[in-house]
Amino acid sequence: MALVSGSLVIIPIILAVIFLGLTFLFLRRLRLGAEEYGNDTMPRNTFLLEMILQLRSLQYLNLRNLWCARYRESSAEQVCARLRTARLLGIEAALSDFLMAAGGMFLMTFAALRIMDGTLQGGDLFVLVLLLWRVITPLRMLLSATSQWQQLFYHLQHVKRLQKLPNETVSFHKDQLVVKNVEVLSVQNLTFRYPDALLPALSNISFTIPAGSLVGVAGQSNAGKSTLCRLLLGLYAPQVGSIFVGEQDVRQFSEMHLRQLIAYVGEVPEIFEGTVADNLRLTAPWASDSELQEAATQMACWEMITALPAGLQAPLTPTYFDTFSGSFLQRLCLTRAYLQKAPFLILDMAISQLDGHGERAFLQVLQRLRGNTTVFIVTHRRPQLALMDWILVFDAGKLVRQGPASEIVPSTAQRPKESA
């Protein structure tokens, strides 16, 4: 361009400098606006969640109008931040169009003067205009993309902050994941109340279970059996009391260590999208196909797996969940828990969906686990309770009775249709 236009090259250079300067200026301003919007969004969402969870309390205290006013104020601040960003983007677009038009006008004006002086040909003017658009158009696109650039920088900052968060210690070595030397489980003065409940779900619960015992948990519906399971799993923290494994409080364990200690199966089968082998290996990634076959055979579901067209590689997707029986899916969950080989196994009404053959096979597995694994079974069935070493009977959140099965089972009512 300099060879053709001489001193006229100063015009696109000035335009390029202006475009680059505006790009950095708007990028900084938009990044500040995005941070302001993000800083307003997180407290607003937290405030909204807290208001929904405490809505009943707000109504009782007649604070609903006050909290709605606070929410409107927070929403107004967020909307204002968004409007400021939109206004800035509008100014950016207007400046970009103005600079393009002004640059073309100045170039045409000075080029016309040069043509009148005879120092520039008419064809050179056409070439100058084409070269100007070639140089300025990418810079204009760069200025227009500042909104996308600031979003990219903002999300990259979030990713960096997430990467700085402390990670759980993950190990896939079999010897490290299998916890040995199972200890005594002791619960002392355990009390827990749900946030919206008036009465505690568990009140002053205490018991000690020797290692390797089979423990039956019985009681009426809403007696606190499932709450006890969730506390043992570490899903809830007790307000009063402690749970000890050996001499160590479970609150001193890391999340990873606690997951290694306890295997759990609930009443509803938890199946994840993938193959049969993928689901079984969730708790034992190192397990070979022969180990999967051995565990599935003991749970009386290997024949059902081999009956599938692809066997262990048969897909389990939400579309086909309804085609499998509840007994088969529950056997897969029990097999997965058995493969974990954890020192503690918690079964919250997990046997309720098994058919007669599956229940007999699982009870045989329980007999083999006796002495090696401490098993908690929430059940209402008298034959299952009779096989236990120790029984805990709950009523209205209180442990009303505990002792050997020979003493407890005759007085324990059978309620097969009730849920824990």
DSSP 341-395: --SEEEEESTTTT--HHHHHHHHHHHHHHTTTSEEEEE---HHHHHT-SEEEEEE
154 and 194 in a single domain? The answer is no
Asked if residues 81 and 33 have their Cβ atoms less than 8 Å apart, the reply is yes
> Which conformational region is residue 300 in: left (phi greater than 0), alpha (psi within -120 to 50 degrees), or beta?
left
259 and 381 in a single domain? The answer is yes
The residue-averaged pLDDT of 337-343 equals 87
The residue-averaged pLDDT of 53-78 equals 77
206 and 334 in a single domain? The answer is yes
Residue 107 lies in a domain: yes
165-219 pLDDT tens trace: 766 555 444 444 344 445 688 888 888 888 877 888 888 888 888 888 899 998 8
- pLDDT of amino acid 51: 76
Tally of domains in the chain = 2
Which residue range forms the structural domain that includes residue 356? 184-408
246-302 pLDDT tens trace: 778 888 777 778 888 888 888 888 888 888 888 888 888 888 888 888 888 888 888
Residue with the bigger pLDDT between 317 and 142: it is: 317
211 and 144 in a single domain? The answer is no
Please state, rounded to an integer, the average pLDDT across all residues of the chain: 77
pLDDT band (50, 70, 90) for residue 92: confident
CATH number at residue 31: 1.20.1560.10
- pLDDT of amino acid 173: 42
The residue-averaged pLDDT of 212-231 equals 87
Residue 45 lies in a domain: yes
Scan for tokens 């009386």, then name that residue: 300
Alpha-carbon distance of 292 to 310, in angstroms, equals 15
Question: 21-30, 214-223, 245-254, 394-403: lowest mean pLDDT where?
Answer: 21-30
230 and 362 in a single domain? The answer is yes
pLDDT at 309 over 80: yes
**Which of 104, 130, 164 corresponds to the end of one domain?**
164
pTM of the predicted structure, to 2 decimals: 0.57
